[in-house]
Amino acid sequence: MSLSSMPSAATMFQAYASISTAITMFKTMIHQLVPQQVQCYIETKIRRYFRPNSSDVTLVIEERDGMGINDVFTSAEIYLSARISPEFQRFKITKRPKDTGVNVKFGNCGKITDSFEEIELVWKFVNEAKKSISRFQDDDEGDFSEKRSFELSFSKQHKERILNAYIPFVLNTAKTMRNEKKIIQLHSLSGNCYSSINWDSVNLEHPSTFETLALEPALKKTIIQDLDRFLKRKEFYRRVGKAWKRGYLLYGPPGTGKSSLVAAIANYLKFDIYDLEFSNIKRDADLRRLLLSTKNRSILVIEDIDCSVTMPERNVARTNHNIRRDRDQEITLGGLLNFIDGLWSSCGDERIVIFTTNHKEKIDPALLRPGRMDMHIHMSYLTSESFTVLANNYLEISDPLYNSFKEAKQLIEGAQVTPAEVAEQFMKSEDPHVCLQSLVKFLKQKKINEQMEKKKQQEEEEANTTDNDKQLQRIKTLTTDNSLQS
């Protein structure tokens, strides 16, 4: 080819510019028209197709391990959040009221580079959305669920070093980071019985502690000692063949501080709380899945257990074998017991299960035995000692500086008053004297009402007794008259 037939430099530049513009427009159209998840999926498939020719190896770390949580994924998420890479272009930034700093989480696909002992590593975050449709929903009403994972790539010659040294390093670093900024989370259920049910979380803002709890000092000390003993006995539980968990039953009248005690235990142990509400759960299988998705070092709270679980008569056999229970209509006592004290109870460590009720006598005996509810804690009415703690918390007084303080303390000894009722009186004014006078007036009126109620009950019992006597006398008279007539 002669030089004269070759295109000029200007022509070649124009062609290059046209091709570059076309490629840029094509990439823009792809980003605008193709969802991010689809882009990630295509990129992943292309990379996997050419992987056999590569000298790298990739570890896939999925968020879930079967029905449970993959601790390696959780640790990697914490570890990588402190290693923001310029190559990673999409993050989720959050900050809750009690957070000391900004929380960085991963949005969609992206890469982060890291190094360990001069080994180059590449982390890739993959977030795939999947649409699930239940039989109760139309095709266009499906719920989107996420399948999240990390892919860790490195040279295959370092495989043993990464598995034996780097992964443990990530786990330990994440544990340290988690403990340094530990903020207790309160988890509750999101979704409904016809769609995907998962845990949502918020920061636990409850300030209750054992120091501020209006509880008998002796009982408070017993609970703290039991918690401390539980934390130290990991090897003991393994040696005797028991799951490392502890069950508590909090029972007593409403307003006696059951919820405050749960918060105090969580703040003392630095354990997250999972509030298990049964209204959204319809099957035992869903219950197991949710319980298995709770983390170690957590508290599972089941409130009003006497009203929450279907408790069928276990000793009554079905006479009609053609009748089958609809498994989509209820969760059962057996399903709950299987997780609390059955084979499923070993799926997790260092867990506390707390049941609450206002009526202990209504709870099925199968739940009350040790191993399920190990320690029964009676949340009773206020006493003079717990009243002093409450007065110090609300009014910042611990000594009887006011005559009304002494009077209120004496009235409480003979009254059935809850901490919630006394706290309400303490919040009526900023003046301690006014609050104490209001409390004394409330306690006196409460005592009068109790006496009137007691008198009314006695009168009703006497009236019933009189009516019964009259009825018996009438029957006796009729019997006598019949005898005389015969």
User: What is the arithmetic mean of pLDDT over 324-337?
Assistant: 59
For the chain, the domains span 29-133+141-182, 198-312+329-378, 384-447
pLDDT of residue 232: 93
More confident residue, 305 or 36: 305
**What is the pLDDT confidence band of residue 281, given thresholds at 50, 70 and 90?**
confident
pLDDT of residue 222: 95
- Which CATH number is associated with domain 198-312+329-378? 3.40.50.300
Q: Which two tokens stand for residue 179?
A: 């403990």
On the CB side of 337, how many CA atoms lie within 13 Å of its CA?
13
Note the pLDDT tens digit of each residue in 243-264. Answer: 888 999 999 999 899 999 999 9
Between CA 454 and CA 36 the distance in angstroms is 71
pLDDT of residue 321: 41
Between CA 267 and CA 275 the distance in angstroms is 15
Percent of the chain with pLDDT over 70: 69
**What is the pLDDT confidence band of residue 479, given thresholds at 50, 70 and 90?**
low
pLDDT of residue 376: 94
Which CA distances in Å does 427 have to 75, 212, 214, 355? 44, 16, 16, 30
Per DSSP, helices labelled H in 360-418 are: 365-368, 384-395, 403-413
CB distance 44 to 126 below 8 Å: yes
Note the pLDDT tens digit of each residue in 337-366. Answer: 777 776 666 677 888 999 999 988 888 887
User: What is the arithmetic mean of pLDDT over 184-205?
Assistant: 77
Note the pLDDT tens digit of each residue in 220-240. Answer: 999 999 999 999 998 998 898
Angle at which helix 384-395 crosses helix 432-485, to 10 degrees, equals 140
pLDDT of residue 98: 59
pLDDT of residue 38: 66
Short-list 299, 276, 283, 281, CA closest to 335: 283
pLDDT averaged over the chain? 78
Answer yes or no: is pLDDT of 99 > 70. Answer: no
CB distance 106 to 146 below 8 Å: no
More confident residue, 104 or 410: 410
Question: What stretches of 29-117 adopt beta strand conformation (E)?
Answer: 56-62, 64-65, 68-69, 91-94, 103-106, 110-116
User: What is the arithmetic mean of pLDDT over 125-129?
Assistant: 77
pLDDT of residue 104: 63
Which CA distances in Å does 190 have to 195, 272, 287? 10, 17, 13
**What is the pLDDT confidence band of residue 136, given thresholds at 50, 70 and 90?**
very low
Note the pLDDT tens digit of each residue in 373-408. Answer: 889 999 989 888 888 888 888 888 766 666 788 888
Q: pTM score > 0.85 for this model? A: no
360 by Cβ neighbours in 10 Å (0-12 / 13-18 / 19+) ranks as middle
pLDDT of residue 181: 72
